[in-house]
Structure 1
C-alpha cells in the first residue's frame, strides 16, 4: 500500500486525526471535545520549528495538577487503572519469566517491585519489566490518532521512581498526563509516515513521554527538561517487524527505562542539543518524512490528547475489534455452536489483512495478529480476552477447524473501524452484523464498571480477590494518595 493511500485511509478512520486547537473538536473515530484550559485560553500561535523542544519543555516544567480539567484528571485515572490491570495480567507470562531470569543477576539495589510478583529490582530494570508486562497481551490503552499505547512507557517509568522517591498521588497523576501529552503530541507530528516505514511508535515516541514525566517528578528546570527530551531523542526503540514475538513488549519497556535514564542524567546536568526534536539532523527529520511541529506545540495546556485515549475490551490489535464485536454479538444472540457454522465471511478494510493476516498462528502472541483466529475464538468462546489469545486457544482443535472457515475479503468501502460480517449456517440461514464502531472505541467507550471487570478478570489467579479489590481502590484514588508508590507495593505478590 502506498504511503498516500495509507494516509488517506487512516485519516478517514480517524486513526491519524489532524491536530486541532481547543476551539475545534477532533474529527473521526474517537471524537471527544477537548476542554479549554483555565480562563478558556485560546491555543498559542504556531511555534517556529527552532523552538519546539524548548516550548514543550517549558510547558511540562510549568504545568500544575491544579490546572488539569476534571475530565482530564478522570481520564488520566482510568488510564492508570487500566495500565495497572494489564501489568498484573502479564506478570506471569513466559515473556516476563524469561526477562526476570535474564536480568536478576545484573540488577542493582531492590528499589522497586513488579506487579503480580515477589521480585524487586533497581528502578531502571523495574521500569523495563513492568513496561514489558503491561504490553504482553496487547491489552493496553490506545491513542487512536497514532496507535501509541501511552501508559506503558510513562507509568512504568514514574511508578518505579515513586517507589524510590516518594511523590504524592496528585503529582504522580499530573506527571502521567504530561507524559501522555508529550509522547502523543510528538507521535502526531510524524504519524503515519514514521509508522509506515516500520517504527513501533509506542517505543519511539514513548521514550519522550517517560522522560518528560520522570523529569517532572524530579523537579527538572526548563534547561534540564530540554536535555532530558534531547537524551530521549537519542534512544528511539522498536520496529514493527517484532510484532507477534516477545520483542514487541520489549519496546514499551525499553522506552520506559530509556526515558527514566534520560531524566536521571539531565537532573545531574548531562547536556544535549537544545533542538533534538526539530533540528535538521534531529529526531523528527531522521525518523520520518513528515514533520508537523504544530501538532506538538499548538494548544499546550488547552487541548489534551489524554482525552482521546481508549481501552481495549479485546486483547489484540485494534483493527480486529469490530470483527470480534460482531462475532460475539451474533454468537450470543443466536446461541451458536461451532458445529452449526458452515463459513464466516466478512468485508474488511485492507489494513486488517496487512496487520493481522496470519492464517496459521503458532502461538498466542501470533494469534493476536490473526483475524482468522480472532473471529474463530470469539465464535467458540464468546470473548476476546487474554485467555482467548493464549497458546492453548491457538492450538485448540475446535477453534483451529473453525479458523479454516473464516474468510475475510478486502473492501475499500469499509473503513478501518468497521466490519460487515456474515455467518452462513449449515441449515442455510445467514446471519449478518455491521459494526460501525466497536466497543472500546471513543464513540462506544468502556465504562468504569467494564474497566473494573477487565481488571479483575486478568488479575484472577495472580492476586487474591481481596488484594485485587484493594489495588483497584487505590488506582481510583490515586490523586488523593499521600504516596503514589503505595499502588506498586499493594500490587506485588506477598
Structure 2
C-alpha cells in the first residue's frame, strides 16, 4: 500500500526559503556591525582549519583521482587548488577542495548536528572569490552567512535526517554553499531565493559511503552544486520559491522532523559558527 505523504506533511510551514534568502542578501557584514568580534574570530579559525585540512590531503590518492577526472573535461584555469600547483575551473576547484578538506576527517564540526560546515561552504567561496577577485573580508562574511544557513537547516532536521541515512554535511552543505556564493556575488533577495531553491534539489550524500573516497566526495559535490546554483540564479534561472519548506520540498521530503523555529529563531543575532569545534584527532 502506498504511503500517504499528506498525513505528516506540514502545509502551514513558514516561508523559510524567503526568510533565509532575505537574511543572506541583506544582513550587514562584520564591518557594518552584522556580528560580534567573537563570531568573526571563529570565522577566521574555521577558515584556517579548513585550509589546513585541504592542504594536508592535497596529494592524497583521492585528490589525484578527482583531478584526473575533472581534467578530462579540459577545464579552464580559473582557480587554485591549495597545496597543489595545478589550476582548474572554479566548479572543479570547489569539488576537489571539498574532497581534500574532508579526506582525513580533521575538519571542523558543528556539535549540535555533527555537520562539518566549512567543507562545502569554504570550498565553494574560495574558488569563486579567487575567480571574481573578491576581498578576504567578503569571503569571511560569506563564510559566516553560508555556515549559518547550512547549520540552521541541519538543526531543524537533526537527528531524523541523519538517522535515515543522509550524510548531513553534504545535504545541508549544498544550501550553505549556495547561500555563501549568492552573498559573494551580491545577489538580491529574489535571486538568492532561486539559488537556495536550485540547491534544494541537489542534497548530496548517503552514510553508506562512509569509509570510502565517496564520503569526502560529499562536501566536494555539495560545494560544486552550491556554486553552480548561485551562478544559475545570477543569470535568471528559476526554482520554486518554497523549495525548502513545501510539503514536497527538500526538508519535508528528506526528514519527518522539521523544527522551523531552529531556522527563524534569533536569525541574524545568533550565529551557528560560534558553536563550531575543531578536532585534535581525526575521530568522532
- Superposition TM-score, scaled by structure 1 size: 0.54
C-alpha distance 107-141 of structure 1, shift in aligned 2 (>3 A): farther
After TM superposition, give the deviation of residue 135 of structure 1 in Å.
0.2
Describe how 1:31-180 pairs up with structure 2 within 5 A. Answer: 49-65=13-29, 66=32, 67-180=34-147
SS in 1 for 2:72: helix
Instruction: Say whether the 8 Å CA contact 1:50–1:279 is kept in structure 2.
Output: no
Paired position in structure 2 for 1:315: 282
Q: For the Cα contact (< 8 Å) 2:14–2:260, is it kept in 1? A: no
- Decide which structure has greater strand share: 1
8 Å contact from structure 1 (residues 61, 216) kept in 2: yes
Whole-angstrom CA distance in 2 between matches of 1:146 and 1:169: 28
Aligned length: 270
Superposition map of 1:316-395 within 5 A: 316=283, 318=284
What's the counterpart of residue 232 of structure 1?
199
Which consecutive segments of 4 or more residues in structure 1 shift more than 6 A? none
Cα gap change, 1:107 to 1:157, in 2 (>3 Å): farther
- Once the 2 structures are TM-superposed, how far is the Cα of residue 108 of structure 1 from its aligned partner? 2.1
1:201 aligns with 2:168: yes
Contact 1:132 1:251 in 2 (8 A): yes
The structure whose Rg is larger is: 1
Distance 2:215 2:47 in 1: 21
Q: What is the deviation of 1:50? A: 3.5
> Is residue 2:146 matched to residue 1:216?
no
Structure 2, unmatched stretches of 5+, are 1-11
Matched, 1:272 2:236: no
Q: 1:50·1:275 contact (CA, 8 Å) conserved in 2?
A: no
Q: CA deviation at 1:64?
A: 1.8
Distance 2:203 2:268 in 1: 26
**How far apart are the structure 2 equivalents of 1:50 and 1:70?**
31
RMSD (Å) for aligned C-alpha atoms? 0.8
Q: 1:432 corresponds to which residue?
A: none
CA contact (8 A) 1:49 1:293 kept: yes
Structure scoring higher RCO (CA < 8 A, sep ≥ 6) equals 2
**Which residue does 1:485 correspond to in 2?**
none
Q: Give the conservation status (yes or no) of the 8 Å contact 2:44–2:140.
A: yes
Q: Secondary structure at the match of 2:15?
A: helix
Q: Distance in 2 between matches of 1:68 and 1:62?
A: 13
Contact conserved, 2:193 with 2:241, CA < 8 A, in 1?
yes
Structure 1 segments unaligned to the other structure (5+ residues): 1-47, 319-494
For 1:304-331, what per-residue CA distance to the aligned partner results, in whole angstroms no more than 9, with x for missing partners? Answer: 1110000000012x2xxxxxxxxxxxxx
